[in-house]
Amino acid sequence: MLAGLTNRSVDTEFYSPVPEGYRKGRTKYVAVFGTVMSGLGKGIFASSVAKLLKDKGLLVAPMKLEGYLNVDAGTLNPYRHGEVFVLDDGTECDMDLGTYERMLDQDLTRRNFTTSGQIFSTILERERHGAYLGRDVQMIPHVTGEVKRRLRELAMHGDGHRPADVVFVEVGGTVGDYENGFYIEALRELAFEEGEDSTCFVALTYVIKPQTLGEQKSKAAQLGVKRLMEAGVQPHMIACRASDPITEQVMQKIAMFSNVPMRRVFSMHDRPSIYTIPDEMRQDGLDREILSILRLHERVDAAHEDQSREEWKGFVRRLTSPKNRKVTVGITGKYAGLRDAYASIDKAVEHCTAGLGCDVDLKWIEATDLTDANVAQHLAGLDGVIVPGGFGSRGVEGKIRVVRHCRENMIPYMGICLGFQVAVIEFARNVLGLEDANSTEFKPSCAHPVISELPEQKKIEGLGGTMRLGGQDVELRAGSLMSQLYDGRTRVRERFRHRYEVDPGYIKRLEAAGLVFSGRHPAQPIMQMLELPRPGATGLDGAPLEQTHPYFVGGQFHPELTSRPLRANPMFRGLVAAALERRYGGAEAAAARSASIAAR
């Protein structure tokens, strides 16, 4: 890929690796930078604009540039960086890529995510192999050159079949940070090299409103944009974050001091749902402005845009319309104080509310606080419960108490990854009578390791090596609840991120006691879904089964990662429908199921 480029490192200061076959001008670039502070919603803004262009028939490809030196996000604590989002190819990445996947309804790959650690590792490895022929390897041009190479490679790859029309680049962190300065410089160079009309720079800034003053102040936003301009980047558009709509006066000030026309200044204030943002951007004409900046009007497919717009408007209308039914679902995790740790679960539940015509109130419950004495109190009034994934022993016993309470009191339950595993442990302890049943992750010397590492996993060294990561096929048992939830399919694909499995030596005993493993690995003895039969189910002899439940399911995978606005994940949809039935009775649940089918 870099053949013929090494001599240029010595002969010229215009060293800039270009993938073979790359055609300059074919792909345009939109780069989004954050100023004033982090966490403003660059990913939400960029994905919303990307959706507008995708709706017009253009092929879009997002890229998140992260400043940290980690090679990926796999070992980051949620308190540091929110949830770890896993792509189908197994890449552990930033939660913003989940926003892109949901908003664009497309699967991303490792090409869409880059960290400083990846950039520097690649360059140092090349240097050790003599790729730079003795040249002193520098931030400019070599580090910035590698950033540009990756962006152009993504542009060429597109969706795997044709090049992207537009690459959306989100620069992590805040302008002025040390760790993202070379990304900003690389994008400045990219715009210079690609030429006129090739790049659109967007500055996402923050307009403060001090409580003591009671009015919006734009000075911090102006100074933040000034830092970007000092780096050689003149923004074409400004997006202003605030709790309330930006006033005309403030927008005028920001426009004047940033040299950006008023028509290209957008108020990105708080809204009931992020899914309303694309249509509001369209009403403000942001999509047309970007098409003009990049000269892309001739690539627009008007018929495709009309259809996509109507589908999205229908979803948003169902999502935001007043609803006369409401259920409460508890999420019992050990990061309950940080909702970003379960951002995809939050969104997966939100997707269900549009299709089922109800509101869902999420109650966040800290698992480490739960005891035998207070678990009933904490779960009182809930119509459904989700036990999410996690690693480590903290909060596990609390989660097991939650499972038992839901199983014995017929509360709709869904276990995700670790939530699947603790359901197995609880069933082994309290139904099979194996009091010391546990996972070897939490108690290596337990008498009954119903959850453990499989032998082939134990042979693999390294923390990340033993993980099952990314998309895997799941074979469904015909006639099971899971099969029904997935529209009768016999095989589905979901995303995994775990190390421990149900020990094969206990599967027959668990199933004989009434636990149904309704989803398995197609070729290995790996259990991937579980459920309890619903009330009224009978065994082979026709006798009623002892272990039944209105909705008790679990997945060793993370179903929240594949839920999309127009295609809510079936397991979440089933949980909310079961919660409606618990709250309102069978007639309401039947109406909800009909609404869900109609909305698909």
Residues facing 544 on adjacent strands: 538
Residues facing 493 on adjacent strands: 473
Query: What is residue 472's three-state secondary structure?
Result: strand
Half-sphere exposure for 295 (CA within 13 Å, toward CB): 8
User: Could you give the CA distance from residue 24 to residue 196 in angstroms, rounded to a whole number?
Assistant: 11
Cis ω before 141 (30° cut-off from 0): yes
User: Nearest to residue 566, comparing CAs of 351, 308, 304?
Assistant: 351
Report CA Rg, the chain: 26
At residue 284's C-alpha, the angle toward residues 279 and 286, to 5°, is: 85
Active site residue: 305, 417, 426, 498, which one? 417
User: Could you give the CA distance from residue 548 to residue 380 in angstroms, rounded to a whole number?
Assistant: 21
Give the per-residue SS3 of 360-405.
EEEEEEEHHHCCCCCHHHHHCCCCEEEECCCCCCCCHHHHHHHHHH
Does residue 560 have an active-site annotation?
yes
> Is 112 in contact with 63 (CB distance < 8 Å)?
yes
Does residue 417 have an active-site annotation?
yes
Instruction: Give, in order, the Cα–Cα distances in Å from 413 to each of 340, 407, 512, 520, 531.
Output: 22, 8, 21, 20, 10
Residues facing 32 on adjacent strands: 170, 202
Residues facing 224 on adjacent strands: none
> Is 347 in contact with 560 (CB distance < 8 Å)?
yes
Residues facing 474 on adjacent strands: 492
User: Could you give the CA distance from residue 214 to residue 240 in angstroms, rounded to a whole number?
Assistant: 18
User: Could you give the CA distance from residue 421 to residue 448 in angstroms, rounded to a whole number?
Assistant: 14
Amino acid at 176: G
Instruction: Give, in order, the Cα–Cα distances in Å from 49 to each of 54, 187, 279.
Output: 9, 19, 10
> Is 453 in contact with 500 (CB distance < 8 Å)?
yes
In the chain, what's the furthest Cα-to-Cα distance?
Answer: 84
Active site residue: 240, 406, 558, 581, which one? 558
> Is 571 in contact with 351 (CB distance < 8 Å)?
no
A 10 A CB-CB count for 310 gives 10
In terms of Cβ atoms closer than 10 Å to its own Cβ (0-12, 13-18, 19+), residue 101 is: buried
Helices (H), 321-366: 343-356
User: Nearest to residue 571, comparing CAs of 589, 586, 553?
Assistant: 553
> Is 319 in contact with 353 (CB distance < 8 Å)?
yes
Q: Which residues are catalytic?
A: 417, 558, 560
